Every structure is written in C-alpha cells, then in structure tokens.
Chains A and B, each alone.
Chain A
Amino acid sequence: MILKANWKYNLCWLILMVAGFYLMNTLILVGVINSFLENMMVTIGINIILAVGLNLVIGFAGQFSLGHAGFMAVGAYATAIIISKTPTAGAFYGSIIVGVIVAIVAALVVGIPTLRLRGDYLAIATMGAAEIIRIIINNLKITNGPSGMFNIPQFATWPVIYIMACVTTLIIVNFIHSRGGRAALAVREDEIAADSMGINVFKWKLAAFVLGAATAAVAGSMQASYLQTIAPSNFNIMESIAILIIVVLGGVGSITGSFVAAGILGVVDAALQSFGALRMVIYALVLILIMIFKPSGIMGATELSFKRLFNRKNKKQESGC
C-alpha cells in the first residue's frame, strides 16, 4: 500500500533531480553559466552536502556539533593523497570510500566519549576534537604540513558533485524517515522519554553523528578534487562555523532550508566578490539582520513535500466537488 502511494512522490523527486541536471548542463552548453558561475554552483553543491549532514546531527538528533570541518578534512586529505599518487577515476571513487571509512572511525573515536556531554559543552568538545584533527594534519608529512597539497587531479567535475549532493541528501532524508531517524528524533525531543520507550539513546546519537561525519567526508573529497588545492587552514573552526551558519540560517531541522540557505549564501558570496574588503562586513550585517528578523531561520522546520502538495490539491478538489 505504502509502496504504491510512494512511487508517485519518489518519481517527482527523481524528475526534479534529472531536470535540474539537464538545466544546468544546457545552461553551461549555451554559455549562460560561465566558469565563475559554475564555481559558485559547485560551492553551493558542496555546502549542501555539508549542511544537510550537519543538520541531521543538530536539527534531527539534537546534538550540537561544532566539529564538522574536521571530518570534512579527513575526506579531503584521503582523496588528495590517494589521487595524487594514482590519478585514475577508479582511485578517486575508491578514495571517497576510504575517506568515508576513516571519517566514520574518527567520528566513533570523537563521538563515543563526547556524545555523553550536552548542549554547549558538546559543541565545544567537538570543536576541540576537530581542531585536534586539523592540527595533526598540519603536522604530518604525508599531508605536506601547513602549506597543504597542490595540483590534485580534478575528477570531481560539476556533474559528479551534483550527483553526490543528490545521493547524500537522499540517504540522509531517507534515514530521517525510517526507524533510525525516528529514534534520533525521539532523542532530540526528550532523552528520558526515549530511554523509557526502550530506545538506546546513546546508540542513536552516535549513529546520527557518524552518518553526518561520513557525508562531511564526501564533501571534503569533492572539494579537494574540484579545487585541486587544499590546506589545513581550509578546515578550521571558521569552516565549521560557516556550515553551522547555513544550517541555522535555513532553519534547524529543515533539509529544504539547508538547500535554500546554501543557495542564497552562495549567490550572495559570489555577488559580493566585487566589494573587496567590504564584502565580509556586508555579509556579517546580513547575517545579523536575518537572525534578528527571522530567528527560526528561513524555512523554520518546514520542508518542501510533494506529498503535502498533492494532498492539498486533492483536498481542494474534494471541497470543490
């Protein structure tokens, strides 16, 4: 029954994704999207992967993590190191998997002790953990230390990043709407009640944290291979904060919001390029003003849903009859 009811919505999402791809492809072919705009789109795509993953941890499992950039760094360096040695497409895809695995291990090492902490204490501990990861990378030989890595082969072209953004979002959204996602939501809502419902609170916190970290690693791999240069300073606290800003600006607990905010910030950032030093001042003011006038973020906690769109239409027709 559910299978039949759902194929319609699933098809809608598929059509939307394919249409987006062809639109982008056509716009590039006819030259509307030049390399500057392509770069902007790719940045938005990578930020979507990052923000959706962080939103899972913060918005859905309710765990305030400030260490997302650390896991991103793991993916970025895994890819950079592997494809600098073996520049083949196979090695590139392999490196994404390696990055994800290392990030999962790192997330377990970080999460198992720190996820016992709450709220701001957790935030500061995860931030510290991410900084430790970055400082280790900063001091290793294989990562070329503080100067970073250059001339990384470019396998992550825009179509690869587009598909990766779609796939990671699907994985996370599908996770949220399943047994595990519901357990995570219960943990966010009320740990004591969840516990008394037989839910292993710690396990599901950790699951969401690890899944978020894994997607961050994917984003890191994409960034390393698209930009072709990375340095440890790309993954500092400010980067974690930048991802957090997207999540909060879009609406904590709204995946649609993360998309919208990543898009808006990407465009604003590109548009402000010509403002030079004033750029960050304007950006800061915009940020403060949006937060003051829209404290729950652009989307609040609501989502774009084909199901709701259809239902609304059906209801209208019913009332019309």
Chain B
Amino acid sequence: MTTLFQQLINGLSLGSIYALLALGYTMVYGIIKLINFAHGDIYMLGAFWGYYTINYWHFNFIFALLSAMVVCAASGVIIEYFAYRPLRHAPRITALITAIGVSYFLENGMSYLYGADTRDFPQVIKQVNYSLWGVRVSNIQILILATACLLMILLQLIIKKTKMGRAMRAVSVDPDAAELVGININQTISFTFALGSSMAGAAGVLIGLYYNSIDPLMGMTPGIKAFVAAVVGGIGSVPGASLGGFLIGLLETAVQSVGLSAYKDAAVYLVLIIILLVLPSGIFGKNVKEKV
C-alpha cells in the first residue's frame, strides 16, 4: 500500500511535467495541425534559462520560473514567425519537417554554444523530505505538482474566459470563418505559441529542480512522450493533454516500480497504440467522419 502511494506521488510529479509539455503540443496542433517537434527543445531552453539566471544572476525560484516562461513564450513566437508562418498553406508534412529542422537547430545550436555536457541544476530550493504515513514526499514534488496544477487551471481560464481564448477556439474550429468574423489569425496563432511555450518553459525549470541535471538534448525524449500524452488524451483537447500527461507519468513509474524499467518506454507506446485502436482520436478527441 505504501509503495503504491509512493509510486503514485512519483508518477504524478513526472506526469505533471508531461502534462505541461503536452498542453503546448495540443494547443499548437489544435490551431494549425502541426506536430511541433521543437516543443521539447523549448522546454530545454527553459531549463537552461533557469540554470543561467539562478547561477549567474542569482534569481530566486519564482523569478526564474516566471522569466523562463516569458523567454520561452518569446522564443515560441519567434520560431512560429520565421519558420512556420511562411508554410501555413504548404503541405502539412513540409511544416513537420521544418519543425524537425528547428528542433535540430535548437539542440545543436545549444550544444555548439554551451557544450553538450550535462550540468547540475542549482538547488535554489533546498530539498526537504516529509514522511506521511511512510510515504516519502519532497517539497520539490509538492512544488512541481502545485505549480503544474496552478498553471493548468490558469490556462483553462484563459482559454475559456478571455477574448483571446475564444479567438483561439474559433480559429481551431474554422480559421476561414474566424477570419471572416474579424479575428486576427496571425495574432491568435502567435498567442497560442506564446501560451504553449511558456508552459514548456515552466516545465523545464521544474524538471531541472526535480532531476537536478540538464543538457541540450534533454528535450528529445520527454518531448516525444509528451506528444504521446497529448495524442492519448485526444490531441486538440486541453483537459485531454493534462489527463494524458498524468497517465503517461503514472504508467512509467508503475512499470519501473515492478522492475521492468528497461521496458518503460515500450509500455508507454503499447498503451498509446491500444488506446488509439479503441479510441482512434484519443480519450477526449472528437472523431470526425467524412461526409459522403
């Protein structure tokens, strides 16, 4: 029982990181139908920003987190403007390859500028472990979970309650109709990238704090897993991405805890395939059938 709760805590912490990342994938996919492969690398940028600002400018945690979100939002917008916007009407597979190109560029650019080696993330918050009925919970885990949940609620509010959020939903349903009723498509897409990238930036700082190590290629695997999470949840659906993230996180820790850590990724992909076979558009996705 104790181990179960222990794994639950570990799984939720990891899952909240995936969920934050998955939100960016799902929002971008929802609005321009692009698998933004560079999203995982935005998360890496966030982690590096946190590393530098804490180490050299002596930022505290909150400030590092918020500034990483702003910087990542800006990078997301810039990437969209230069790399994706020119391809808005090109075949989707072309935009996908461009996204892969951007991902390579960020990974290798960082390796070139700052070296490919792994660095220790500064422990800006001292780790304290609490023991609750035998379950070990660290203050960092609580912080990650709380921050992630707070951000997700905030995001949901922005999407549901603000004018920009309404514009986002409109563009994702029908961009042409949205334009006709006076929505600025470019602005809306930029805003979507800004929101998604800021979530990734936050996730980067949080993971640095949690795992204590960062490197330029750190975004690759979590990026793909988060995309899997978004697909499992139903790509385009914000609650789906959160749910998918937590599911993948829990699944990974569960497989690891039964001693099959070598197969943890395989289990994730297997669950992905099974879910897609039962629900071809994910858990919360809408299955649109072609009209004859």
B-binding segment of A87-95, A134-142, A162-170, A212-220: A134-142
Q: How far is the CB of A128 from chain B (nearest CB, A)?
A: 3
A13 at the interface (CB under 8 A from B): no
Residue of A nearest to B116 (CB): A277
Cβ of A288: which chain B residues have Cβ within 8 Å of it? 83, 98, 101-102, 105
> How far apart are the CA atoms of A118 and B277 in the complex, in Å?
11
Q: How far is the CB of A260 from chain B (nearest CB, A)?
A: 16
B270–A128 CB distance below 8 A: yes
Interface residues of B (CB under 8 A from A): 29, 33, 35, 83, 86-87, 90-91, 93-98, 100-105, 107-109, 111-112, 116, 220, 224, 227-228, 231, 235, 262-263, 265-266, 268-270, 272-273, 276-277, 280-281, 290, 292
Q: In the complex, which of the residues A192, A291, A297 contacts B101, with contact meaning CB atoms closer than 8 Å?
A: A291
B35–A120 CB distance below 8 A: yes
B281–A121 CB distance below 8 A: yes
Residue of A nearest to B224 (CB): A237
> How far apart are the CA atoms of A128 and B265 in the complex, in Å?
9
A241 at the interface (CB under 8 A from B): yes
**A 212-254 contacts with B by CB, 8 A:** 237-238, 241, 244-245, 248-249, 252
Digit string of A288-300 for contact with B (CB within 8 Å is 1, else 0)?
1001100111000
Cβ of A241: which chain B residues have Cβ within 8 Å of it? 100
B91–A277 CB distance below 8 A: no
Cβ of A128: which chain B residues have Cβ within 8 Å of it? 228, 268-270, 272-273
> How far apart are the CA atoms of A180 and B131 in the complex, in Å?
65
> How far apart are the CA atoms of A207 and B101 in the complex, in Å?
31
> How far apart are the CA atoms of A132 and B105 in the complex, in Å?
27
A-B CB contact pairs (8 Å), 22 listed: A58-B93, A113-B277, A123-B35, A124-B227, A124-B231, A124-B276, A128-B272, A129-B273, A192-B290, A244-B97, A278-B112, A280-B104, A281-B112, A284-B102, A285-B105, A287-B100, A288-B101, A291-B90, A291-B97, A295-B90, A295-B94, A296-B90
Residue of A nearest to B94 (CB): A295
Cβ of B105: which chain A residues have Cβ within 8 Å of it? 281, 284-285, 288
Q: How far is the CB of B235 from chain A (nearest CB, A)?
A: 7
> How far apart are the CA atoms of A24 and B35 in the complex, in Å?
41
Cβ of A136: which chain B residues have Cβ within 8 Å of it? 266
**Given A125-B276, A252-B93, A288-B101, A135 and B262 touching (CB < 8 A)?**
yes
> How far apart are the CA atoms of A292 and B101 in the complex, in Å?
11
A287–B104 CB distance below 8 A: yes
Give me the 8 closest cross-chain CB pairs, A-B, nearest first.
A128-B269, A295-B90, A284-B104, A284-B105, A280-B108, A287-B101, A288-B101, A135-B266
